Amino acid sequence: MKPAAPQFSLALRLVHWLMAVMVIAMLFIGIGMVSTVSEMRTWLIDVHKPLGILILCLVAVRVCLRLLRPTTCRSGRRRRPMHRTSCSTP
Amino acid sequence: MNRITPAILLRLASIGLVLLTVTAGFAFAAGWLSADRLSPPDIIDSLQINAGLHPGFRRAHAKGLCIEGTFHANGNGTALSKAGVFAAGDVPVIGRFSTGGGQPYAPDGRLVFHAIALSLTQASGELWRMALDDTPIFVVATPQAFRDLQLATAPDPATGKPDPVRTADFLAHHPETRAFMDWMRDEPLPSSFANGTYYSINAFRFTDAAGETRHVRWSLVPETPFEALDKSKLASLPPDFLFEDVVQRLRRGPLRWHMIVTVAQPGDPVDDATKPWPADRRQVDVGTLAIDRAAAEENGACRNITFDPLILPSGISSSDDPLLPARSGAYAVSLTRRDGEPVNPSAASKNPGIRRGAP
């Protein structure tokens, strides 16, 4: 029997998928900007830098969300503080 | 184990398709699918083919000397740009004198092309980096032409000299390069780093506090009176004569240049560094650069600075000149490569007359 997956709040899930898109975009922007001497290089660096800072800010938001609203198990019980990464099977 | 049903195959195929699309997109972004995309490493590779590989040194302007000093702004520049560096007052400067080419020990008589590179740190902490040459025009207009020039004039392994046919072929397609070479041959060249005028090469944009943007070029005009280099005696001059000269001058006192900003008129070429602007353009003296110290790169502060012309404070920005992003990218690659290589002594540190620096 698989352990029940933790339930994440809507806000955490939104931030997670937003960051997923942004981090993957960063890979594309990063490899693109070092591959060309055209004006695209300048343009991509100008996107790369603020996007990286934004991702760092979202990490902070994510930590705060997680601390403010601990994830719950499907059973609805809050997990014990020292066992935050998985839910015990009922 | 599950049986492989058509439904599972379809799901696996969709996963594969997504992975393939993402990988193809990444390969496209990286330029792996575009054989003719010119990358910063391509530029540096062409310099290494032309000058040979000299580990630990800059790939261009390899022979140099660290300098330090102060830029004293007189306040006139604030009419053109809101950059803090133009507000009346002093900002510290770290810089580098260099000769052209990629050979760190070549005699100065062969590398009569002088350059000065500067990094100004304004009060806000923002940096203004620049690398200026002593020619008002550049040798090529595009990164592709720059790479082609390096390859066309690279020494032929058989003779040790550039292949005259390849060089002639390049010049036939690049009248701007021929014009540059004629200029180098016909114009009097400065006899010293101290009495040379240095030019920004590319155009940039200055934006003032009201938000108005103008295209500009700038130059550093020496207070030291001009003296011409005797081009007929180049071969007999000591190998480090330019560097020895400037260190001796700095031991006697600071050297000064006026920063003169030239404002373009509509229609002036702002994306082509091979085309000069008419001489009657508005010029503003924005302040004085005083260089008062010099040190071999081993002892100086300039060695690990990339004088990337696109490191600019707010109020100064790039123009559409295609050389600028290429310079920025190539300088970064040059730093990455030399940073990972063993350090070799610079020509200045090997010369007893220069090693101690100045004052």
Interchain CB contact of A17 with B (< 8 Å) = no
pLDDT of residue B90: 97
| Catalytic entry in B54, B61, B174, B215 | B61
pLDDT at B349 over 80: yes
Shortest CA distance from A36: residue in chain B: B39
**Least confident window among A59-63, A67-71, B9-13, B99-103:** A67-71
Count of CB atoms within 10 A of residue B312's CB?
A: 19
Q: Residue A85: which residues within 8 A CB-CB, separation 6 or more? A: A6
Most A CBs within 10 A among B39, B42, B202, B327, hence the mutation to make, goes to: B39
Per-residue pLDDT at A68: 85
Mean pLDDT value across residues B321-330:
96
Active site residue B61: yes
pLDDT tens digits for B113-142? 899 999 999 999 999 999 999 999 999 999
**Res B111: pLDDT:** 67
Task: List the Cα angle A29/A56/B39 in 5-degree steps.
Answer: 20
- Identify the pLDDT of residue A76: 55
Query: pLDDT tens digits for B161-180?
Result: 999 999 999 999 999 999 99
Q: Cβ distance B62 to B345 under 8 Å?
A: no
Number of neighbouring beta carbons within 10 Å of residue B2:
5
According to the model, what pLDDT value does residue B119 have? 98
For the stretch A19-73, pLDDT in tens is: 999 999 999 999 999 999 999 999 999 999 999 999 999 999 999 998 887 666 6
Of the pLDDT bands very low, low, confident and very high (cuts 50, 70, 90), residue B231 is confident
Q: What is the mean pLDDT of residues B11-27?
A: 95
Distance from CA of A20 to the nearest CA of B (A): 14
| pLDDT tens per residue, range B58-73 | 999 999 999 999 999 9
Cβ-Cβ contacts under 8 Å for B178 (sequence gap 6 or more) = B171
pLDDT digits (tens, 9 = 90+) for B214-225: 999 999 999 999
- For position A71, what pLDDT does the model report? 67
Residue B250 has pLDDT above 70, yes or no: yes
Tell me which residue in A24, A29, A39 faces B325 most closely, judged by beta carbons: A39
Q: Which of A31, A37, A42 sits opposite B40 (nearest CB)?
A: A37
Across chain B, what does the average pLDDT equal?
94
**DSSP E strands, chain B:** 64-73, 89-99, 114-121, 127-133, 198-199, 204-207, 213-222, 255-263, 283-295, 316-318
Whether residue A28 and residue B330 make contact (CB cut-off 8 A), yes or no, is no
Q: Which of A21, A34, A36, A37 is the best substitution to test chain B (most B C-beta atoms within 10 A)?
A: A37
pLDDT at res. B313: 97
